Amino acid sequence: MEEWNFPPSYSNDYFPDPNNPYWFRDRETMDPEKRDELIVARIREVMAYAYDHSPFYQSKWDEAGITANDIRTLADFEQVPAVTKQELRDSQAKKPPFGDYLCCPESEIHHIHGTSGTTGRPTAFGISRRDWETIANNHARIMWGMGLRPGDTVFVAAILSLYMGSWGALIGAERLGCKAFPFGAGAPGMTARAVTWLGMMKPAGLYSTPSYALRLAEVAREEGVDPREFGIRVLFFSGEPGGSIPSIRDKIQDIYGAKVVDCGTMAELTPWMHASGSADTEGMLLWQDIVYTEVADPDTNRRVPYGEQGTPIYTHLERTSQPMIRMVSGDLTHWVMEDNPCGRTYPKLPKGIYGRIDDMFQIRGENVYPSAIAEILEGLAGYGGEHRIIISRGGSMDELAVQAEFDQETRRRGPDAVRALSERVEAEFSRVLGVRARIVMVEPDTFPRTDFKAQRVVDDRDLYHSLNQKRGG
């Protein structure tokens, strides 16, 4: 079989036969039960390694009375206590800067990165050279599965700073033998310049967030350029929901005339592409031989059956510097096991990751995700491209208002068209979400666009009530 060892030592010269749709055919298409057996053995190795090299895992597992040798089945592994982001922060506060879960000598760290969030103590990633190469190999393999090939130009349109997304896409493209273009994002005027460069380079692949791909298309059109002229074949997205939401995915595929692939989990879990669709399979496959993912009940951290919803819990099977073993994401998704068009035998998140459980709100007993609201709006003709979700969590129940832009065409057609659109939005909300929301239609381009991940939820009782009054409701 192809290389599958711990620690991994991939050959940087390896390439599959150009006609082979798989980078590692056996690992990707093997009988899933056989794979699970191999994963159990690998988990024991990774746990033994982490125990030997990190006080963090030593004390955690000693306290739980669990050892690597106790893991005989995947069900046994569910007993291993989960790791939270807060524990990583605490560990780094106690043992700065990389925490007592760093499993290699500091002298072996080859790259420093960190979390891109703006609240709370940031977490530092210390990544060894060995891991850096492993990540590049993992990502090249998954990008091969997306249909990218050596010689293709890959344009990275995301912030090249603390965001791991850009770096992961970049090193995957480099290892794949692509012409890697670390263009970046986020500086003033950069989106217009991206339009110029995309026209010049005609890349086969573009990496960004889904929100930014929509923004880029708007700016291209403002510049009189049809995004189809870029000639992009594959748009691969991470960072936020969108790539697996049919209305958003189809809209972007149509705008660019390109295939959309959804990927990405968490920066801590780099190689974060380990959940990724492929050229022929929509949604996200769980590449279990790279990072073992359990979709679990958030209360018990035990796996839920296929077909059910839960929170992903991730375990690195190939990382040696800061391995995450049962890191709980706090996101929500549902998973299935079915035949995939691409022939890979991995479980799948058919609708991707819905969002963080914390971002969910309850309207009269219904759980609502911001991504479900985006899904409805993006599917409606006349929608202007941005919205804000205003929640009032003040009273006994959450209340919901949505400010949504109408587009220029609707504006031209006048107030009746705006009213009709508003009624359509309201009707779709009650049909799809089962909730009544205050809909406030606003002019095109009311809201700023993002170069990164969209932030659309505003938690504000006063704003909610002022919108509610304006509408006379």
Residues that bind ligand 8LQ (CB under 6 A): 116, 164-165, 168, 238-241, 243, 262-267, 272, 329, 331, 352-353, 355-356
Q: Closest separation between CB of residue 18 and ligand 8LQ, Å?
A: 28
Residues linked to residue 327 through DSSP beta bridges, in sequence order = 83, 314
Q: Could you give the CA distance from residue 447 to residue 201 in angstroms, rounded to a whole number?
A: 31
Q: In the complex with ligand 8LQ, which residue's Cβ is closer, 320 or 329? A: 329
Contact 245, 378 (CB under 8 A): yes
Per the CB < 8 A criterion, the answer to whether 393 and 460 are in contact is no
Closer residue to ligand 8LQ, CB minimum distance, 331 or 405: 331
CA separation, residue 1 to residues 45, 176, 292 (Å)? 19, 21, 19
Q: Rounded to the nearest 10 degrees, what angle do helices 190-201 and 210-222 cross at?
A: 80
Q: State the pairing for strand pair 179-181/153-156.
A: parallel
Would you say 47 or 169 has its CB closer to ligand 8LQ? Answer: 169
Residues 30 and 20: their CA atoms lie apart, in Å, by 15
Cα–Cα nearest to 315, from 127, 2, 45 = 45
Closer Cβ to ligand 8LQ, 5 or 253, answer by number? 253
Which of 46/349 has CB closer to ligand 8LQ? 349
Min CB(245)–ligand 8LQ separation in Å: 9
Q: Considering beta carbons, is residue 79 or 247 the nearer one to ligand 8LQ?
A: 247
CA nearest to 263, candidates 287, 284, 286, 241: 284
Nearer to ligand 8LQ by Cβ, of 185 and 441: the residue is 185
User: Which has the closest alpha carbon to 159: 118, 121, 190?
Assistant: 190
For the CB of residue 321, give the shortest distance to ligand 8LQ in the complex, in Å.
17
Tell me how far, at minimum, the Cβ of 264 lies from ligand 8LQ, in Å. 3
C-beta of 65: minimal distance to ligand 8LQ in Å?
30
Distance in Å, CB of 307 to ligand 8LQ, minimum: 20
Shortest CB 473 distance to ligand 8LQ, Å: 32
Indicate the pairing of strand 153-156 with strand 205-208. parallel
* β pairing state of 383-392 and 366-368: unpaired
Nearer to ligand 8LQ, 168 or 310 (CB): 168
Kindly give, in sequence order, each residue whose CB lies less than 8 Å from that of residue 243, ignoring residues fewer than 6 positions away.
Answer: 210, 236, 237, 249, 260, 261, 262, 263, 277, 352
User: At residue 335, what are phi and psi to the nearest 5 degrees?
Assistant: -125, 155
Comparing CB distances to ligand 8LQ, the nearer of 267 and 286 is 267
Beta-carbon contacts of residue 267 (< 8 Å; ≥ 6 apart): 113, 115, 116, 125, 163, 164, 165
CA-CA distance, 385 to 143, in Å (whole number)?
Answer: 29
